Structures are given as structure tokens and as C-alpha cells.
């Protein structure tokens, strides 16, 4: 299959353009897809990959351009029409109704004009169908009880049941643990062997190198190039083509001497409204000069735990120790937390107010510093905002008067960092600090966090294994609400276990 | 024995309007549309049923007119909620306010007029069956139809293709849309069906229960029906239980009035069905924390594609 494409593409996109308001998501894109290939659509966030694939799957209509399927021009008004033509897409947010069963989800939308639905018989059929593709799934199970990997298999099954020949995946590994990713790759290869054509969107170079037989790269809405996987020598070369300049894939970590323990928690437990624990018996500690990473597959309790660590969750039991003082965890949300800063995952809604200027946003977490009786020292705040923007190289079109909404994701994150780090904190809790950022911005954020070790303890919450292993000294892995193990990231043998630990496998 | 028959017969008789309206509301809400216009649709149904019945002399036309009037009002609600994606709460309240005023205005010439009404069931030899016979003899065809509708709607939701689509649309319209389910048409159909049953429930009042037209004659039963949907946790079987509870309290009130037993002041008795509703809502809200039963996840949310 690596010996060059056959002559006729099964799918040919030519001159595809698509704009959303003023932003051009796709500009004059040509793409050929050949039968039986696993085709990676590679690009950074915002490169237009999802838009292009959504056009192919009938979710969006292109402003210009044509799609030819097996030589014939096609126009899809909605996803159903694309599916009828044999093209189906598994979105990043799974399109499954959680309260329905696997069978109900697969059958959904297929019963036009029919009345009686014999569920027992349908379940038998689905079981038999799933067996044919060797996809293990219980057809009578409710989707809300399934793991992310199982849900993805339901999505695949749903498309196969509708006779999709071309399957598109939008970042299929984003919500999976490393062993689940292996399983998925096996399924995709098997589908390819059965004659299906696979397209998958990704920005992870490793996935492209291991899985793809053909690679197309998008950059800022344009097609950079399309080539067979065999033509690529290294990850580095791939990264350069994707970003458009030389990039470093390794970060340098100058050694920093560790200091005293800045922050520690013991026995942290909290339950949701129905009495089920969100996380249980969590203990961890961070010292000055080190980065402790808290990781796990999304949905294993890191979200609520991070909120509790940052003092945003009420009714937590356990103890919190910060800078030598101890609090009951229930009192931690009201404790004075000077010296601690929190960089939330959602920089658009939690870390900033989109409609306010950068000066006002700069004041958000620093009000006390600029208070002069009942007044605010606005000119001083403005001066310091300008200084912070310069120090962190934030590209703001109107300087301090730019609204937060006008900043790109990377610049907004750098702005948030500039604000939070301006006061030389003793503890930094950074939650998914590079999610959605391009490689350039990611590198800058990483360097910033590493530099902070000189005077601070850093707690990095991240589901990105590469980020965790690049930055952290120690890694605490969460699984089903517990920290199942904390390992040293500097010991290669220990670090290699993190992936398995994320799936709950201890040895 | 006679007392028991009296109470049971009135219980069943008084529960039908609430039962019909709440069955309709269950279907509507399962598709994700909250319809607070039920009270208004019942009022309009009551008036239309009475007027059409009186003018044409045909019960069938009367009930048909009532269902059409309820559906017409439901169409207004559906258009605002589905097409214009307006707030479902505001649209529903507006529909009830509109219908209350409209029925009061249009119904003025008909107050106190004598119309037609639906008679009791011919039970024949069944009348000799103890308890069941005499209770049944005081009911009518519409009552039986309403009871038959309970297993029918339950089956439609759980065991039919349209039911699967309705549940999916109410839980996650985006996912349903991606699977090729026509979200808007299904929501329209379910809202219209809810209006149809609310209208029929109203006509039961003006053509069966207390024949004639009286301003505001539904007396809040539409609101009680909405509360019963929550009590029923969106399941038809439990809606029957809720409606019978309401009917039972109404029957007790009649019973005490008829026997003249001043055990409890009459005004407290008249308050009971409404107190029951408030109590039920309180209980359900408290019990909800223990996952007693959840509302359709997309209830009240408009659907946008893309």
C-alpha cells in the first residue's frame, strides 16, 4: 500500500472554500483520497481540519468548490445525505444519546415509516453485526455507562451499520487512554483491511507516524501538501511542515534545587449530589522547585479535584497545608490564599471576561493591589498591563485596550500567565495550560512554567502525556477518583508506566 | 358500599381531564418542548367543544372542534419554540394568558346556555357485577378511551420507532440530528399531540363532566396536569396514578359535601387537590437528588444545527 496511490481517487475535493464571518477556515483546498488508505489530516489547532472534514460529512456546505465521489460530483445538504453516499464521521463530541442503549443509538433514525420496534430482536442483530467486525460491545447497555473507548466503538458501529465506506474521525484519540488508543488503531487497521477508507484528523505527530499510510497537512486554512507516509523521514520533518518553521520537540529542563514543601493535601474526599464520590482519599504534596503533574484520562476526577485544590469547591473533607499553615479542607475556600495562583482550563470563560479590556481583565485577580481607599489606581494598572504584555510577548492589536475576545487562544493564555505570574507566586496550579494552543505557543507556555520553578511549586494538571513527561518531576495518576500511584517522571522505567496507569493498570 | 361506589365513580370521573392533559404533556416534554400553555389549551378546548357541539348538535364534531382548537393553540406555541427558538416558558405562559382572555371574551354569549352532553356507558348485564358495575355505569366512552391511552402511550414511547425518535430528540437533539432524525418535525408533532389531548381534556369538562360553558371552568387543572407530569417522572403509567389521586381528593370533597359531615371545613377540602400538587412537587424535588427520575435532558432547550 505504500507504493504510491492508484490512479483514480475515490474522493476528490477541489477548490473548497469556507468562511465563518470574517475568518476563512478553508481556502481553496484540493484533496485526493484513495480507496483503502488511512489518511491523516494533520494540522495545528485552527488550521481548518475539522471544517474541511465537516464539509465532507455534510455538516457544513462549502462556499465554493466541488466534491467528487468515485468520479461523480456530489452535494450534501446534511449529514444524512453524506451517509447515504457512504461517508460518515465520528465527531470529537460523540453524537450518542446517553440515556439510550447501544442498540437504540445504532438504530436511531433508521425506522422511517415503521411502527413496531422489537428491541430484543434488534439487540440480537446488533450483537451479530458487531461480532462480524470483532467490535466488542454489549448492545443492551446504556451508553452513559460506557467508557469513552466503548462509546467510540458504538459510533463506529453506527456508521458501519449505515453502510459507510469512508469513515472520518475527528481527533479520535483525544479522550482515550493509551491502551484504548492501541485498541482503536487495531480496529482502524482492520477496517482498512476490510476495504474501508479511513480519514483522521490529528495534531499529534506520533499518531500520524504509526497509523497513517498517507498524510495531508493543513496550515492556516490552506493545504500545504499531501504525500505517502513512507516519504516522511522523521517527526521533526513532519512538525516543520505542519508549523512552517523549525520546532524543538524536546524542552530543556535546567536543574533547579528543591526547596521546602509549599502545598500538601491529605484525605481529600468529596461527593456529588447523589452521594457518589467525585474523588476519594487524595493525598499529594508539591515542593518549591518542582513540577508535580496530575494526570489521567478525562473524567476520572481531575476536574473536581483541581477545583478543590484551588479552593473553588465547597464541602470537601480532609486537610490542606499551604505555606506552613493547616486548614480543614472545608474551610480552604475561605482561607487567605495569597501566594497561590490558579490558571484555569477555560481561559475564555473562567480566566477572562471576553468583553472587557485587557486592563480590566488584568485587574480581575489583582484588585487588592491597586485599591486606593474606595478608588482604583487605574493608570498604574494600565502601566503594569503594558509591561506584562511586553514581557510575555502578547500580540494585542489595540494594546491594553484590546478586549480579551480579540486575542487568539495562545495570546490569551500568555496574557493570563502574565497576570497570574506578575506577583511571583509560591504555588501555581495550571490546568491544561496548552490545550488548544499551537506548537509555538505551547513551547512558550512550557518555558514559562519551567522558569517558575526557581521560586515556586508548580502543580500541572494535564491529560497530555507528552506535556506531562516533558515538564514534570513527578506524576500523580488519577483513575476513578483516586490517585492510584505517583511516579518519578525522571526515571525512564517509571515514566513508561504512566500510560498504563492512566488506564488503571498497575503493572 | 354505596358510599364507596359514590367515591370511586367520582374519582374516576374527575381524573380524566388531568389524565388526558398530562399524557399529552408527557409526549410533548419527552420531545424536549415544555408546554406551559396546557391550561389555555384546555380552556379553548372546553369552549370550542361546547360551542361546536351546541351549534351542530353533534358530539363527534364537538370533540373534534375541541381537539382542533387545542392543536391550533399548540401550533402557535410550537412555532415560537421550534421555529423562532423563543423561550419556551414565556411562550407557554403567553399562550395561556391569550387563551384565558380569548375564551372569556368569545364565550360570554354562551354562559348559561344548555348544550349537548355525552351520556353514560350502556353497561348492560355488567351492571350486576358488584362494585365494578355501578362504578362503570357512571362513566362514558371518553373515559374508557383515556384509560386505553395510558398503555398505548407507554408502548409508543418504549416499543415503537417514533417513540425512539421522540426520546432521542428530547434527550440530545444534536445526536438525534446527526443520526438523521428530523428534530423539528418530531417536536412539532409532539407539541400538536399535546395540544390535541389538552383540548380533548377541556371538552370533557364542558361536554361530559359539568355540561355547559363557564368562564375559567378548568380551574387550574392544566397546571395540575403539568405538575403531574413531574410526579409521573415522564411515564404514562404513573400519570394515571397522579390523576387518580387528584380525582380521589375531588371525590372526597363531594362526598363530605353530600353527606353534610362537617368533619373538615369545605374550603379546606376544595384546597386539597392544589395542596396535593404543591406537596408532590416538593417531594419530587427533594427526591430528585437521589436520582428518583430525571427530566428529558434537552427539555426546554431550543435546537440549533451546527
- Provide CB contacts within 8 A for A282, sequence distance 6+: A265, A267, A268, A269, A305, A318, A482, A483
Does domain B2-288 fall under CATH 1.25.40? My reply is no
Residues on chain A touching B175 (C-beta within 8 angstroms): 94-97, 105, 108
Instruction: Name the nearest CA neighbour of B34 among B302, B305, B274, B304.
Output: B302
Q: Which of B168, B289, B290 sits opposite A100 (nearest CB)?
A: B168
Band of pLDDT at residue B134, cut at 50, 70 and 90: confident
Q: Determine whether the interchain pair B179/A158 forms a contact, defined as Cβ–Cβ distance below 8 Å.
A: yes
Question: Looking at chain B, which residue has its C-alpha nearest residue A93?
Answer: B175
Whether residue B26 contacts residue B234, with contact meaning beta carbons closer than 8 Å, is answered with: yes
Q: Determine whether the interchain pair B178/A91 forms a contact, defined as Cβ–Cβ distance below 8 Å.
A: yes
* B25 lies within 8 A of chain A by CB: no
Whether residue A459 contacts residue A429, with contact meaning beta carbons closer than 8 Å, is answered with: yes
C-alpha angle A282-A273-B167 in degrees, rounded to nearest 5? 120
* A273 lies within 8 A of chain B by CB: yes
Give tens-digit pLDDT for B226-265. 999 988 989 999 999 999 999 998 898 888 888 876 677 7
Q: Determine whether the interchain pair A111/B164 forms a contact, defined as Cβ–Cβ distance below 8 Å.
A: yes
Could you give the domains of chain A?
11-95+165-243 (3.40.50.300), 254-339+427-507 (3.40.50.300), 349-424 (no CATH)
Q: Determine whether the interchain pair B161/A83 forms a contact, defined as Cβ–Cβ distance below 8 Å.
A: no
Q: Determine whether the interchain pair A115/B161 forms a contact, defined as Cβ–Cβ distance below 8 Å.
A: yes
Whether residue A417 contacts residue A343, with contact meaning beta carbons closer than 8 Å, is answered with: yes
Q: What is the pTM of this model?
A: 0.79
**B181 vs chain A: nearest CA distance in angstroms?**
5
Question: Rounded to the nearest 5°, which phi and psi values hold at B181?
Answer: -85, 130
Q: Which of B164, B177, B294 sits opposite A117 (nearest CB)?
A: B164
**A405 vs chain B: nearest CA distance in angstroms?**
21
Q: Determine whether the interchain pair B163/A117 forms a contact, defined as Cβ–Cβ distance below 8 Å.
A: yes
**Torsion B287-B291-B295-B300 (CA) sign:** positive
* A80 lies within 8 A of chain B by CB: yes
**A15 vs chain B: nearest CA distance in angstroms?**
22
pLDDT in tens, chain A (507 residues): 444 455 689 999 999 999 987 778 899 999 999 999 999 999 887 788 989 999 999 989 999 999 999 999 999 998 889 999 999 999 888 999 999 999 999 999 888 888 888 899 999 999 999 998 888 899 999 998 888 889 999 999 999 999 999 999 998 988 888 888 999 999 999 999 999 999 999 888 888 989 999 999 998 889 998 989 888 888 888 888 887 777 666 778 888 889 999 999 999 999 887 778 899 999 999 999 999 999 998 888 999 999 999 999 988 999 999 999 999 999 999 998 889 999 999 888 889 998 899 999 999 988 888 989 899 999 999 999 999 999 888 888 888 999 998 887 888 999 999 999 988 899 999 999 998 787 778 888 999 999 999 999 999 999 888 899 999 999 999 998 999 999 999 888 988 899 889 888 887
**A90 vs chain B: nearest CA distance in angstroms?**
10
Residues on chain B touching A94 (C-beta within 8 angstroms): 175
End-to-end CA distance of chain B: 64
Q: B-contacting residues of A 109-148, CB under 8 Å?
A: 109-111, 114-119
| ipTM of this complex | 0.87
Dist CA A401 CA A14 (whole Å): 42
Plot region of A109 (φ>0 → left; ψ -120 to 50 → alpha; else → beta): left
Instruction: Name the nearest CA neighbour of B228 among B24, B7, B12.
Output: B24
* B86 lies within 8 A of chain A by CB: no
Angle between helices B38-56 and B221-231 (to 10 degrees): 130
Length of chain A: 507
- Tell me how many residue pairs between chain A and chain B have CB atoms under 8 A apart: 76
Whether residue A459 contacts residue A428, with contact meaning beta carbons closer than 8 Å, is answered with: yes
The HSE-up count of residue A95 (CA atoms within 13 Å, CB side) is 28
**B296 vs chain A: nearest CA distance in angstroms?**
9
Residues on chain A touching B290 (C-beta within 8 angstroms): 274-275
* B304 lies within 8 A of chain A by CB: no
* A104 lies within 8 A of chain B by CB: yes
* A85 lies within 8 A of chain B by CB: no
Amino acid at each position: 500500500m505504500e507504493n504510491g496511490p492508484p490512479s483514480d481517487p475515490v474522493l476528490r475535493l477541489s477548490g473548497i472554500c469556507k468562511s465563518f464571518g470574517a475568518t476563512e477556515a478553508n481556502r481553496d483546498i484540493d484533496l485526493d483520497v484513495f480507496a483503502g488508505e488511512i489518511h491523516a489530516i494533520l494540522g495545528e489547532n485552527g488550521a481548518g481540519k475539522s471544517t474541511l472534514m465537516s464539509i465532507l460529512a455534510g455538516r457544513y456546505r462549502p462556499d465554493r468548490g466541488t466534491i467528487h465521489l468515485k468520479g461523480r460530483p456530489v452535494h450534501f445538504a446534511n449529514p444524512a445525505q453524506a451517509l447515504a453516499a457512504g461517508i460518515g464521521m465520528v465527531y470529537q463530541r460523540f453524537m450518542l444519546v446517553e440515556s439510550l442503549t447501544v442498540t437504540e443509538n445504532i438504530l436511531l433514525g433508521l425506522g422511517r415509516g415503521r411502527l413496531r420496534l422489537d428491541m430484543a430482536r434488534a439487540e440480537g442483530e446488533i450483537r451479530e453485526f458487531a461480532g462480524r467486525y470483532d467490535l466488542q460491545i454489549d448492545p443492551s447497555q446504556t451508553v452513559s455507562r460506557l467508557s469513552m473507548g466503548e462509546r467510540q466503538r458504538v459510533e463506529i458501529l453506527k456508521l458501519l451499520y449505515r453502510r459507510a465506506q469512508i469513515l472520518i474521525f475527528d481527533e479520535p484519540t483525544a479522550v482515550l487512554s493509551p491502551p484504548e488508543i492501541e485498541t482503536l488503531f487495531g480496529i482502524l487497521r482492520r477496517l482498512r483491511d476490510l476495504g474501508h477508507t479511513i480519514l483522521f484528523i490529528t495534531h499529534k505527530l506520533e499518531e500520524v507516524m504509526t497509523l497513517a499510510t498517507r498524510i495531508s497537512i493543513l496550515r492556516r486554512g490552506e493545504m500545504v501538501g499531501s504525500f505517502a507516509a513512507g516519504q516522511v523521514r522523521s517527526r521533526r520533518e513532519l512538525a516543520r511542515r505542519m508549523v512552517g518553521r523549525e520546532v524543538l520537540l524536546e524542552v530543556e529542563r535546567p536543574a533547579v534545587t528543591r526547596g521546602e514543601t509549599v502545598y500538601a493535601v491529605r484525605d481529600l474526599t468529596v461527593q456529588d449530589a447523589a452521594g457518589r464520590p467525585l474523588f476519594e482519599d487524595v493525598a499529594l504534596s508539591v515542593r518549591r522547585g518542582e513540577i508535580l503533574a496530575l494526570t489521567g484520562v478525562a473524567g476520572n476526577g481531575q476536574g473536581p479535584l483541581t477545583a478543590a485544590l484551588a479552593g473553588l469547591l465547597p464541602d470537601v473533607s480532609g486537610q490542606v497545608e499551604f505555606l506552613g499553615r493547616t486548614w480543614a479542607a472545608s474551610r480552604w475556600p475561605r482561607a487567605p490564599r495569597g501566594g497561590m495562583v490558579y490558571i484555569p482550563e477555560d481561559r475564555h470563560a473562567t480566566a477572562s471576561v471576553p468583553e472587557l479590556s485587557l486592563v480590566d481583565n488584568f485587574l480581575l485577580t489583582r484588585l487588592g493591589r491597586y485599591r486606593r481607599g474606595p478608588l482604583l489606581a487605574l493608570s498604574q494598572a494600565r502601566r503594569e498591563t503594558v509591561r506584562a504584555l511586553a514581557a510575555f510577548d502578547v500580540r494585542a492589536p489595540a494594546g491594553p485596550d484590546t478586549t480579551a475576545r480579540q486575542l487568539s487562544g495562545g495570546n490569551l493564555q500568555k496574557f493570563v500567565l502574565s497576570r497570574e505570574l506578575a506577583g511571583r507566586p509560591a504555588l501555581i496550579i495550571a490546568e491544561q495550560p496548552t490545550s488548544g494552543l499551537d506548537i509555538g505557543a505551547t513551547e512558550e507556555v512550557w518555558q514559562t512554567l519551567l522558569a517558575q520553578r526557581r521560586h515556586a511549586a508548580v502543580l500541572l494538571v494535564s491529560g497530555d502525556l507528552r506535556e506531562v513527561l516533558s515538564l514534570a518531576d513527578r506524576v500523580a495518576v488519577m483513575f476513578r477518583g483516586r490517585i492510584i500511584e505517583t511516579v518519578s517522571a525522571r526515571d525512564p522505567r517509571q515514566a513508561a508506566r504512566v500510560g498504563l496507569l492512566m488506564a488503571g493498570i498497575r503493572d | 358500599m354505596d358510599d364507596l361506589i359514590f367515591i370511586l365513580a367520582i374519582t374516576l370521573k374527575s381524573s380524566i381531564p388531568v389524565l388526558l392533559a398530562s399524557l399529552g404533556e408527557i409526549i410533548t416534554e419527552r420531545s424536549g418542548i415544555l408546554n406551559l400553555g396546557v391550561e389555555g389549551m384546555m380552556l379553548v378546548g372546553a369552549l370550542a367543544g361546547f360551542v361546536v357541539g351546541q351549534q351542530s348538535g353533534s358530539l363527534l364534531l364537538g370533540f373534534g372542534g375541541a381537539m382542533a382548537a387545542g392543536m391550533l393553540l399548540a401550533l402557535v406555541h410550537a412555532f415560537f419554540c421550534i421555529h423562532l427558538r423563543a423561550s419556551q416558558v414565556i411562550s407557554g405562559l403567553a399562550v395561556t394568558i391569550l387563551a384565558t382572555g380569548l375564551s372569556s371574551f368569545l364565550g360570554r354569549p354562551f354562559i348559561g346556555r344548555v348544550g349537548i352532553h355525552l351520556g353514560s356507558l350502556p353497561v348492560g348485564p355488567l351492571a350486576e357485577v358488584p362494585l365494578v358495575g355501578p362504578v362503570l355505569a357512571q362513566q362514558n366512552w371518553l373515559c374508557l378511551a383515556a384509560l386505553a391511552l395510558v398503555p398505548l402511550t407507554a408502548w409508543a414511547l418504549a416499543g415503537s420507532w417514533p417513540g425512539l425518535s421522540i426520546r432521542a430528540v428530547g434527550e440530545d437533539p444534536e445526536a438525534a440530528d446527526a443520526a438523521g432524525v428530523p428534530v423539528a418535525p418530531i417536536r412539532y408533532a409532539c407539541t400538536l399531540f399535546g395540544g390535541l389531548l389538552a383540548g380533548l381534556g377541556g371538552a370533557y369538562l364542558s361536554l361530559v363532566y359539568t355540561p355547559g360553558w363557564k368562564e375559567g371552568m378548568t380551574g387550574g387543572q392544566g397546571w395540575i396536569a403539568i405538575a403531574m407530569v413531574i410526579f409521573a417522572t415522564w411515564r404514562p403509567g404513573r400519570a394515571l396514578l397522579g390523576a387518580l389521586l387528584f380525582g380521589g381528593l375531588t371525590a372526597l370533597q363531594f362526598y363530605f359535601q353530600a353527606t353534610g359531615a362537617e368533619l373538615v371545613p369545605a374550603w379546606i377540602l376544595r384546597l386539597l387537590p392544589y395542596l396535593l400538587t404543591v406537596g408532590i412537587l416538593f417531594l419530587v424535588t427533594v427526591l430528585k437528588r437521589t436520582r428518583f427520575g430525571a427530566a428529558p435532558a434537552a427539555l426546554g432547550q431550543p435546537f440549533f444545527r451546527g
